[in-house]
Amino acid sequence: MKNDLTGGSGMKVYICMDMEGISNVVTSYQLMPNGSSPALQEIREIATREVNAAVEGAFESGATEVLVNENHSGGEIIPELLDHRAHLFAGKPKRLMTAEALEDYDVQFLIGLHPRMGSADGVLDHTWCPKTIANFCINGKPMGEIGLNAVYAAEFGIPTALVTGCEAACTEARNLLGNIETVIVKKGYGRFAAICPHPEVNRKRIRAAAANAVRNIEQIIPLTMKKPMRLEFHFFTSQQALMCTLIQGCQRVSDRTVRFQVPSFKEGIRVYMLTAIVHNAGSDPIY
C-alpha cells in the first residue's frame, strides 16, 4: 500500500465516477449532455446520491478526506446535493481524465463504471470510445476502463477497493482485482436493458461496501503489471489504426491493431490520451 494506514484511519479517498454504471441507466438517451433533459436531470440526482453513499461509508470507517472526480461529460454531480464533507473535482477536459490528482490519495473507489467492450449482458459496454476501440490489452490482457483506472492507481501504490456498476462490470472487477468490494446495481439483459433494484436499496449497499473497503484496506493489493508494458489497441476500422501511426513509438501490427511499449502506465496513460485524439480524426459520423 502507498501509506501505512490501518483500519481506514486518516485515509484519503479518491472517487472516480462514471455514469453508465449508475442505477437505472440503460440507454444513451438518459445521458445526453443537455442540461434541460428531464432524463439526464433524474440520473444526475441518482448519481449524486450514489456517490454520497460511498462518501458516507468512507467517512464512517475513518476516512478524513474524499475527492469526487466526475468523469463522464462533466457536470454530472449536483453540487448542492453532494455530501458537504467531500470535495468535487468538476469539469472536463482534465489532462489525465479519470486519474487527474489521483497520486495524492490513498485508495480509489470506482462508482458507476461499465464493463469493457464486448462484455456479454454488459449494460452500455464500451472501452472509452464506443465507436473506435474494439479491444484494448496490457501485456496481452484485455482491459476496460475498470482495469485502466486500477493499473494507473497501482503506479502510486494505490489500491482500488470498491467498484459499482452492472453485474458484468462487477464480475470484470473481481476477475481483475480479486476479492474487492463490489456492488451490483443492475443485472443486464443485453446491452440496453437491465433489471434494476430500487436506487435506495443500492445506496444502502454502496454505503456498507464503502465502509468495508476502507476498514479492510490492508487486504487489497494494487493491480501491478510487468514492465515495460505492451499496449495494444484494436480498432473497428483500419483508418483509425492508420491515424495512430502519427504517434511516436506506434507499431502497426495488423490492419486494425497498433502496439506501443511503455516503461510504465504513467507513460501509458499519455499514449492512451493521444490515441483518443488522433483516432477520432479517422472516424466518420456514418461510416
Residue 92's CATH number: 3.40.50.10780
235 shares a domain with 101 = no
- Same domain for 174 and 275? no
- Looking at the fold, whether 277 and 149 belong to one and the same domain comes out as no
| In a shared domain, residues 236 and 168 | no
Question: Could you tell me if 260 and 151 lie in one domain?
Answer: no
Q: Which of 174, 190, 219 is the last residue of a domain?
A: 219
Do 41 and 113 belong together in one domain?
yes
- Asked if residue 276 and residue 207 are part of one domain, the reply reads no
Q: Which of 46, 66, 69, 70 is nearest to 57 (CA)?
A: 66
In a domain, 1, yes or no: no
Residues 6+ apart with CB under 8 A from 216: none
Do 240 and 153 lie in a common domain? no
In the chain, the number of structural domains is 2
Identify whether 29 is part of a domain: yes
Domain final position from 172, 198, 219: 219
Are the beta carbons of 142 and 172 closer than 8 angstroms?
no
Residue 5 is assigned to a structural domain of this protein = no
Residue 133, in any domain of the structure: no
Cell of 258: 497498433
pLDDT at position 244? 94
Q: Is residue 112 part of a domain?
A: yes
As a three-state string, the secondary structure of the chain is: CCCCCCCCCCCEEEEEECCCCCCCCCCHHHHCCCCCCHHHHHHHHHHHHHHHHHHHHHHHCCCCEEEEEECCCCCCCCHHHCCCCCEEECCCCCCCHHHCCHHHCCEEEEEEECCCCCCCCCCCCCCCCCCCEEEEEECCEECCHHHHHHHHHHCCCCCEEEEEEEHHHHHHHHHHHCCCEEEEEEEECCCCCEECCCHHHHHHHHHHHHHHHHHCHHHCCCCCCCCCEEEEEEECCHHHHHHHCCCCCCEEEECCEEEEEECCHHHHHHHHHHHHHHHHHHCCCCC
Give me the domain span that covers residue 166: 12-120+145-219
Indicate if 176 and 277 belong to the same structural domain. Answer: no
Q: How do the pLDDT tens digits run along the chain, 287 residues long? A: 565 556 667 999 999 999 999 999 999 889 886 656 788 899 999 999 999 999 999 999 999 999 999 987 778 899 999 999 999 999 877 777 778 899 999 999 999 999 999 999 999 999 988 889 999 999 999 999 999 999 999 999 999 999 999 999 999 999 999 999 999 999 999 999 999 999 999 999 999 999 999 999 999 999 999 999 999 999 999 999 999 999 999 999 999 999 999 999 989 988 988 888 887 776 777 77
Residues 211 and 236 occupy one common structural domain = no
Per-residue burial over 102-134, b = 16 or more CB atoms within 10 Å of its CB, e = otherwise? bbebbbbbbbbbbbbbebebbbbbbbbbeebbb
- Domain assignment of residue 7, yes or no: no
- Cα 162 to its chain centre, rounded Å, is 11
Q: What pLDDT sits at residue 6?
A: 60
Out of 189, 219, 249, pick the residue that ends a domain. Answer: 219
* Whole-model pTM over 0.85: yes
Could you tell me if 213 and 109 lie in one domain? yes
Residue 47 and residue 17 in contact, taking contact as beta carbons nearer than 8 Å: yes
Kindly state whether residue 135 falls inside one of the protein's structural domains.
no
Q: Tell me the CATH number at 235.
A: 3.30.1360.130
Same domain assignment for residues 278 and 156: no
CA distance 74 to 58: 23
Instruction: State whether the Cα torsion 234-237-239-243 is positive or negative.
Output: negative
Domain contains 132: no
